[in-house]
Each structure stands twice: as C-alpha cells, then as structure tokens.
C-alpha cells in the first residue's frame, strides 16, 4: 500500500462516516462524527493498515477484510484488561462499538479501492 493509497482509504473512511451521519438524522451529528473519526484515523494508521499490508504480503487480503472489524472491536477491550480504573471499564462497550464501526468503514474503503483498481473490461459486443 502506498502513502497515497493510505490517504485515499482514510479519506474514504471519513466520507463513509459522514454519510452514516446523514442517515442518522443530520443536524449537529457531524460534530460527533468529526470527533469520532479522529480515533478512527489513529486505528487506521496503527492497526488496520499494518494488518492489511501484512495479509496482502502473505496473499490473503480477503482475510484482513473480514478480520479488521473484529480487531477494531478487540482494541478497547485489550486496553481495559490492562487498565484498572473502573471508569474506563464502564465505557469500553461504547468504545468497542465505535472501533468496530471504524473497522467496518476501513473495510468498505479497502473494498472500494480494490474495486476501482480493477482493469476495465470492454463489452465484447463493442469489440467484435
């Protein structure tokens, strides 16, 4: 994955996040979505991109597309295992949901990038 591909995936991830806000009812939800995309960017750079890069090198990128939402759901739970503060443990469920959504948005953006990189196959009726 190139640096431009990473920026493209992050841009698509943010776009899908704002589209979800529109479906949630619009209004001032875009402020909430903006502050939720910042942790999604961190997850994308530190967790999702290396996972997809390694799986692409090993030849099974489709596995990373399936696993990334689950990895996103597990990230806050792993932090909750180490942290002993009870206040953080109470909010792990919400963080886990938002990280899962970040993983789903990353997977959508990766699938879209893979689809856009396919060669254009001409219709055989026009070639013959």
Assigned domain for 124 exists: no
pLDDT of residue 26: 63
Name the helix (H) or strand (E) containing 48: none
pLDDT of residue 42: 80
DSSP single-letter state for residue 118: S
pLDDT of residue 23: 73
Q: What is the rounded radius of gyration, in angstroms, for the C-alpha atoms of the chain?
A: 17
Assigned domain for 54 exists: yes
pLDDT of residue 123: 63
Please count the structural domains in the chain.
Answer: 1
Assigned domain for 95 exists: yes
Assigned domain for 123 exists: no
pLDDT of residue 59: 85
Assigned domain for 127 exists: no
Per-residue pLDDT of the chain (128 residues; tens, 9 = 90+): 667 777 777 777 777 777 777 776 666 766 766 666 677 778 888 888 888 888 888 888 888 888 888 888 887 777 767 776 666 666 677 777 777 878 888 888 888 878 877 666 666 666 65
- C-alpha angle 15-51-2 in degrees, rounded to nearest 5: 65
Half-sphere exposure of 113 (CA within 13 A, CB side): 21
Assigned domain for 128 exists: no
- Measured distance CA(101)–CA(96) in Å, rounded: 9
Assigned domain for 125 exists: no
Domain that holds residue 80: 3-118
Assigned domain for 70 exists: yes
CA nearest neighbour of 104 among 59, 71, 62, 60? 71
Given a contact cutoff of 8 angstroms between Cβ atoms, the answer to whether 8 and 113 are in contact is yes
- Measured distance CA(33)–CA(20) in Å, rounded: 9
pLDDT of residue 98: 76
């Amino acid at each position: 994955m190139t640096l431009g591909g990473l920026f493209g995936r992050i841009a698509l991830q943010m776009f899908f996040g704002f589209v979800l806000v529109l479906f949630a009812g619009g209004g001032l939800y875009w402020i909430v979505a903006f502050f939720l995309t910042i942790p999604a960017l961190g997850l994308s750079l530190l967790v999702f991109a290396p996972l997809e890069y390694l799986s692409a090198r090993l030849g099974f990128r489709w596995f990373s597309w399936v696993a990334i939402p689950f990895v996103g759901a597990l990230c806050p739970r792993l932090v909750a295992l180490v942290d002993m503060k009870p206040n953080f443990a109470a909010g792990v469920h919400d963080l886990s949901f938002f990280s899962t959504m970040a993983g789903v948005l990353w997977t959508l953006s990766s699938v879209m990038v893979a689809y856009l990189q396919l060669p254009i196959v001409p219709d055989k009726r026009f070639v013959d």
